[in-house]
Chain A
Amino acid sequence: MLRPDLLIVGAGPAGMSAAIVAARAGLKVVVVDEQPTPGGQIWRGIEANAGTSRGRALGEQYCSGLATVRTFRECGAVYWPSTRVWQVESTLGTYVTGPGGTRVVAPRLVLIATGAQERPAPFRGWTLPGVMTVGAAQILLKNPGSVPSEPVWIAGCGPLALLYAHQLIRMGGVVAGFLDTRPSTPLRETLQLAGRAALRSSRELAKGASWYAELYCRAGRYVPDVVDLQALGTDQLEGVRYRTAAGRVEEIRTSLLLVHEGVLPELHTVRSLGCEIQWDAGQAAYRPVLNEWGECSHPDILIAGDAAGIGGAVAAVHRGRLSALRILQRLGKVAAEPEMTEENCRAALAHALVLRPFLDRVFRPREQVFAPDDDTIVCRCEELRARDLCAALSGSVGSNQLKAFTRAGMGPCQGRQCGLTVAALIAAAEGRHMSEVQPFRVRPPLKPLRLCDLAGLADESRSS
């Protein structure tokens, strides 16, 4: 069994940055990542795309990832691509399956850098073929030849939806229309937050503003203040009906709708270990309870990057480094680079997070995201509607009981798609705050696992 000093889950900005600091300082580091190449979601495919027209169209921040990926490749960390972590025991025994089969790693410390997932935002018809998330569409953009051939409708709220529209337009795609589901923020509050942010981060603000301007000019239609969506069609998306805050209801025809309601920390692994989490009202998401180094309630596990709380790629880099510095400290090592100090990392992290309160406030998801109407499918694996779940909610019933009663969360996505909505339904039914509701207990495996891959482990233990 491999016994590295540090196992890092995820080779995105945080995981790679931590690996570089730790490996260069002489630690034995193993980095496990599901993708075939390093970069995480944000820098997906960067090695292939850098220097190409696609790379340029994806933008400067995307291309900036190349340097980190190259340094990571050379830093001395053992890197296992196309590999899934499907169980982390509380004693840190970590089970992975990849091209080399299934194996168990027993590290001294674990850094979880699993990034973010898109916020599941159920609405009527969201499971129809033809409805997909902006995140999934953006993955396609980063692979060759995947600019949608037809005009695209986007409905959503959050920087990623704007970035995607911007990238799509630059790559020759057409935005047929943008249904902006961002609730309008009181002007005064917006200006205050923007003003504060502008002092330190005017360039980023200007970039965002220019994406909005581009949408106004280039999208076929731009509809603000959309509060409700319904995907229409029987076997395939045929159109979208939407309602605005003013009560106007309209229908458009389309066979492709991209949706996005922001991102959440990916906490499946963290929660499976029973690490303490808390409700972050500002980000409308659960996040792990961490100290300033990314250490959580489990003594030997650290969490960095968007999994620690949404902060974006630059913040992820610095959180990764900070966690690595802490790990070096705990294992009696020092960073190889003199400039890699706690002080520098903290200053850089603070700067990277300047815009965050503004973004969190301006892109706060609309209330309807948490309160799907009766007809909406909440658990898509088991095809359960909000009505079915609410009917089982008599008395004081927690998430785990509701799961037992209805099978919600028992399917292959393991509650990733419905967990937050179920918690919100319970909170609403019982008049409680989200912070008082426990989401589903996470059952292993953390990712679906082929039976033969588990069976392979029996051979391994027999031979060893």
Chain B
Amino acid sequence: MRAGQATTAVIGGGLHGLACALALVQRGQDVVLFERSWIGRRASSATAAGVRTLWRDPAEISLSLEALERWYRMDALVGDDCGFRAGGQIKVAESHAEMEALAARFAQMRELGFHHEELIDARELRRLAPMISEHCVGGLIARRDGAADPHRTIAAFRRAVEGHGAVIREGIAVMALEPAVGGWRVVTDAGSWTVRHVVNAAGAWGAQVCRMVGEVIQFGYKASMVFVTERVEQAFRPVFSTVGRSLSFKQSSQGTLVVGGGIQGGGDLEKGLTQVDFRALAKGAAAAQELFPAIRNVQIVRAWTGLEGKTPDLLPVIGPSARASGVFHIFGFSGHGFELVPLVGEIVADCITYGRSRYDIGSFDVARLLT
């Protein structure tokens, strides 16, 4: 491939950009990927890395179940298991009213024909998490769910992408997309590239790329916080969340406890800056401590905030642009895109290469967000 030309340009070196680049090179395309800072700089490394089909919007469940199967075959896809551990994900009910909410969800899933979520009683909950607080009355579990190691995942996808011959250009920002003969001119701060297709995988900055091709969409962003503790003895394997509060709680394979759940910190998209808001994060700490009283003296060693795109309906944008032919979107996962990484890139690569995907992505059409 000559510098300055490729079949497809991917904008954004997060996991979805990498996964799409990988799927494209596997389909025989020349791919160049532009990343403004460095690979995995934003949400991809800030994520708590839950591999979760549990409690998803019904519109996402089919994709999410298919993506989960790929997590079990990750080694075949990228040459590494990405630290995926299938310990299950559990939504915990802290009261009987919450348990009823879980039962209603369970019934809804059965009605829709999904069987991946299962109600568990207090006894089974305590078997899976012996240290959980007495007041918890049960839960909803997706037993095949789990969590992975975000940094290992980024490294594995990057290796796979480069191993297949795609070009990754870090430290290069895309400034504009201009129509060109047979495709697009990608104007960067380090020269222009001519390509046939453009993939917008710009995460929290996805709407800015949309604007470059004349699409103005309703779009916000999340600045979700995570904190991690010192290593403690391995005590449990599932990832926990609760019905009533913003919390996700897990133990990593290193033994550290990771607490997140979408608690919002401060972020500035223009400057690319984030700030941890410890007053807000304190609520997550309080929730974790109420669920697991034994961890109260564990030391928190790091906290951070990641920037991630957010759509009004909290569903991602996946598929062709509504206005610009040859431009495709993968962004706006609204804080729950990690699990979908091994599938969505492929879907878009199919759209680009074959003009369609065998998955129904109608709910994710960018047209729904146009203003």
Chain A residues at the B interface, C-beta cutoff of 8 Å: 87, 89-90, 95, 104, 396, 398, 400-401, 404-405, 407, 410-412, 414, 443-445, 448-452, 454-459, 461
Contact of A410 among B39, B297, B302 (CB under 8 A): B302
User: A451-B296, A461-B279 in contact; A404/B303 too (CB < 8 A)?
Assistant: no
What separation, in Å, do the CA atoms of A451 and B247 have in the docked complex?
14
For A444, the chain B residues whose CB sits under 8 A away are 276, 278, 302-303
Residues on A with beta carbons closer than 8 Å to the beta carbon of B279: 104, 457-458, 461
Residues 283 to 312 of chain B near chain A (Cβ within 8 Å): 283, 285-286, 288-289, 295-304
Chain B residues whose C-beta falls within 8 Å of the C-beta of A452 in the assembled complex: 285, 289, 296-297
Whether A443 contacts B302 in the complex (CB less than 8 A), given A95-B278, A451-B297, A454-B281, comes out as yes
Name which residue of chain A comes closest to B254, CB basis.
A407
Q: How far is the CB of A134 from chain B (nearest CB, A)?
A: 26
* In the complex with contacts A443-B302, A445-B303, A448-B300, A405-B155 CB distance below 8 A: yes
**19 more CB-based (< 8 A) A-B contacts, given A87-B276, A89-B275, A412-B299:** A90-B275, A405-B155, A410-B301, A410-B302, A414-B302, A443-B303, A443-B304, A444-B278, A445-B300, A445-B302, A448-B300, A450-B296, A454-B282, A455-B282, A455-B285, A455-B288, A456-B282, A458-B286, A459-B286
Identify the interface centre among A412, A450, A451, A454: most chain B CB within 10 Å of its CB.
A451
The reply to whether the CB of B40 lies closer than 8 angstroms to some CB of chain A is yes
Interface contact A451-B285, CB-CB below 8 Å: yes
B295: A residues at CB distance < 8 A: 451
A contact residues around B154 at 8 Å (CB) = 404
Known contacts A452-B289, A454-B285; A404 and B151 CB within 8 A of each other: yes
Q: In the complex, A456→B290 CA distance in Å? A: 12
Q: How far is the CA of A448 from the CA of B39 in the complex (A)?
A: 28
**Count, A-B residue pairs, CB within 8 A:** 91
CB pair B278 A451 closer than 8 Å: no
Asked if B45 CB lies within 8 Å of chain A CBs, one says yes
Smallest beta-carbon distance B361→chain A, Å? 31
Total B residues in contact with A, Cβ cutoff 8 Å:
34
Pair A448/B299 contact, Cβ less than 8 Å: yes
Which of chain B's residues has its CB closest to A397's CB? B38
A444 to B278 CA separation, bound complex (whole angstroms): 9
B158 to chain A, nearest CB (A): 10
- In whole angstroms, how far apart are the Cα atoms of A89 and B302 in the complex? 15
B289: which A residues are within 8 A, CB to CB? 451-452, 455
Q: Shortest Cβ distance from A38 into chain B, in angstroms?
A: 26
Query: CB distance B230 to A412 under 8 Å?
Result: yes
Contact indicator A458/B283 (Cβ below 8 Å): yes
Residues from chain B with a CB closer than 8 A to the CB of A407 are 151, 254
CB pair B276–A405 under 8 Å, yes or no, is no
Interface centre among B151, B154, B295 (most CB of A within 10 A): B151
Q: A90-B275, A458-B285 are in contact. Are A411 and B301 (CB under 8 A)?
A: yes
CB of B229 within 8 A of chain A? yes
Known A-B contacts A90-B275, A405-B155, A407-B151; the reply to A454 vs B300 at CB < 8 A is yes
Neighbouring B residues of A90 by C-beta, 8 Å: 275
Determine whether the beta carbon of A404 is less than 8 Å from that of B40.
Answer: yes
Distance from B1 Cβ to chain A, minimum over Cβ atoms (Å): 19
Q: Which 7 A-B pairs have the closest CB atoms?
A: A457-B282, A452-B296, A448-B299, A458-B282, A455-B286, A458-B286, A454-B285
CB distance from A208 to the nearest CB of B (A): 39
Cα–Cα distance between A258 and B103 once the two chains are bound (Å): 63
Convert B110-125 into 0s and 1s, putting 1 for each residue whose CB lies closer than 8 angstroms to a CB of A. 0000000000000000
Q: Mark B70-99, 1 if CB is under 8 A from A, else 0.
A: 000000000000000000000000000000
Q: How far is the CA of A449 from the CA of B229 in the complex (A)?
A: 9
User: Taking each of A396, A445, A461, which has the highest tally of chain B beta carbons within 10 Å of its own beta carbon?
Assistant: A445
- B286: chain A residues within 8 A (beta carbon): 455, 458-459
The 8 Å CB contact of B288, one of A405, A451, A456, is A451
Q: Which residues of B contact A87 (CB under 8 A)?
A: 276, 278
> Quick one: given A89-B275, A444-B276, A449-B300, are A401 and B282 in contact (CB under 8 Å)?
no
Cβ A454 vs Cβ B151 within 8 A: no
Would A448 and B301 count as touching, CB distance under 8 A?
yes
- A411 and B300 CA atoms in complex are apart in Å by 10
CA distance A396 to B37 in the complex (A): 12
* Complex contacts, A451 vs chain B, CB 8 Å: 229, 285, 288-289, 295-300
Q: Provide the bound-state CA to CA distance between A404 and B156, in Å.
A: 12
Residues in B with CB closer than 8 Å to A458 are 279, 282-283, 285-286
Chain B residues closer than 8 Å to A414, beta-carbon distance? 301-302
What B residues does A445 contact at CB under 8 A? 278, 300-303
Complex Cα distance A454/B45, Å?
Answer: 24
- Complex: chain A residue closest to B259, CB-CB: A451
27 cross-chain CB contacts under 8 A: A87-B276, A87-B278, A95-B278, A396-B170, A404-B40, A404-B154, A410-B301, A412-B301, A443-B303, A444-B278, A444-B303, A445-B300, A449-B300, A450-B296, A450-B298, A450-B300, A451-B296, A451-B297, A452-B289, A452-B296, A455-B288, A456-B282, A457-B282, A458-B283, A458-B285, A459-B286, A461-B279
Q: Which residues of chain A are near B303, meaning CB under 8 Å?
A: 443-445
| Chain A nearest CB, measured from B240 CB (Å) | 15
B198 smallest CB distance to A (angstroms): 25
Contacting residues, chain B, for A412 (C-beta < 8 A): 230, 299, 301
A68 to B298, CA, bound (A): 37
> In the complex, A32→B45 CA distance in Å?
34
Task: Please determine whether B38 and A398 come into contact, CB atoms closer than 8 angstroms.
Answer: yes
Question: Of residues 127 to 156 in B, which have CB atoms within 8 Å of A's CB atoms?
Answer: 151, 154-155
Contacts of B301 in A (CB 8 A): 410-412, 414, 445, 448
Contact B278 A455 (CB under 8 A): no
A414 to chain B, nearest CB (A): 6
Distance (Å) between the CB of A227 and the closest chain B CB? 35
Chain B residue with Cβ nearest A459: B286
Residues from chain A with a CB closer than 8 A to the CB of B285 are 451-452, 454-455, 457-458
Which of B254, B281, B283, B297 is within 8 Å of A450, CB to CB?
B297
Q: Shortest CB–CB separation between residue B123 and chain A, in angstroms?
A: 27
A61 to B293, CA, bound (A): 49
A459–B301 CA distance with the chains assembled, in angstroms: 21
A443 to B254, CA, bound (A): 19
Distance between A458 CB and nearest chain B CB, rounded to angstroms: 4
CB distance from A92 to the nearest CB of B (A): 12
- Complex-state Cα separation, A456 to B283, whole angstroms: 9
CB-nearest residue of chain A relative to B293? A452
Residues on A with C-beta less than 8 A from B302 are 410, 414, 443-445
A454 adjacent to B278 (CB under 8 Å): yes
> Could you tell me the distance between the alpha carbons of A448 and B299 in the complex, rounded to whole angstroms?
6
- Residues of A with C-beta under 8 A to B40: 404
CB distance from B286 to the nearest CB of A (A): 4
